[in-house]
Amino acid sequence: MIELNWGAVTDIGLVRRHNEDSLLAEPPVFAVADGMGGHAAGDVASAMTIDELRGLVGREDLTRADVEAAVSAANSAVLASSLTTRSMRGMGTTLVGMALVVDDGCPRWLAFNVGDSRLYRFAEGKLSQVSHDHSEVQELLDEGAISEEEARVAANRNIVTKAIGTDGGAEADYFLLDANSGERFLICSDGLTNELEDDALAADLGAGGDASATARLLAEHALQAGGRDNVTVVVVDVLSNDPPDRPDDDEGPQETEVAEVD
């Protein structure tokens, strides 16, 4: 059995008129979707995607196939609405997250991502990006055509090359990760990572707050840095992957409700 603590925050930011981000933070699934398409369409795309994943909540027997099927269903649902409803044409959404699945009889994290929303792992004071951006800038980085510094200010840094709902064949990247005690995960939209560099993310993740306080701290710092986009943050802590026996009336993992930054 794995003992978790988690916290989640979403905020419209200081510039945008709509919050097109959606999130899910209900074991065994944690995910963020950043909608695109303008006005209500982005809201719809991200919400539809999260709704498909919500069907996995509460499951203790999830497999990789279950998660892949939910992501595929989300892609099909968003694409179908985009093609049949005029006001939703061209809508889509990024998706990033992780789910506890049973792999060879053991619980492991299955991470997944489409687009440029990100998943990070923070362990022993070090931050590492698990997801791989699907974006024009990332392709240039992979080719060695630009530097990390150039990527942060590139005019095309927000152009994604893959998104849920924009391509019937769009597939997510998947990564299996061990669930180790003491690790912390950050799942976020680019409203966070476009405002804060990795060293700032690591500083907040290592500041000593619990998952809820840390999620709020990250969002507040993104707003202080400009808040030019919607900001959504989910922080998940693995407290133990082999907790001691607890009384029958123990409530189990602590859940923190989604909150907006004032």
pLDDT of residue 146: 84
The CATH number for 85's domain is 3.60.40.10
pLDDT surpassing 70 at residue 245: no
Within 8 A by CB and 6+ apart from 159, the residues are: 135, 136, 137
Task: Tokens for 57, please give them.
Answer: 């909540």
Confidence of residue 39 (pLDDT cuts 50, 70, 90): low
Cβ atoms of 151 and 137 closer than 8 Å? yes
Confidence of residue 159 (pLDDT cuts 50, 70, 90): confident
Q: Tell me, what DSSP letter sits at residue 245?
A: P
Is residue 245 in a domain?
A: no
Is residue 257 in a domain?
A: no
Q: In this structure, how many other beta carbons lie within 10 angstroms of the beta carbon of residue 128?
A: 11
What is the arithmetic mean of pLDDT over 71-85? 94
**Total domain count, the chain:** 1
Is residue 254 in a domain?
A: no
Is residue 97 in a domain?
A: yes
Is residue 247 in a domain?
A: no
Is residue 197 in a domain?
A: yes
DSSP-based three-state secondary structure for 114: strand
Is residue 143 in a domain?
A: yes
pLDDT of residue 258: 47
What is the arithmetic mean of pLDDT over 107-130? 97
Q: Which domain holds residue 191?
A: 3-240
Q: pLDDT tens across 27-38, in order?
A: 999 999 999 976
Is residue 255 in a domain?
A: no
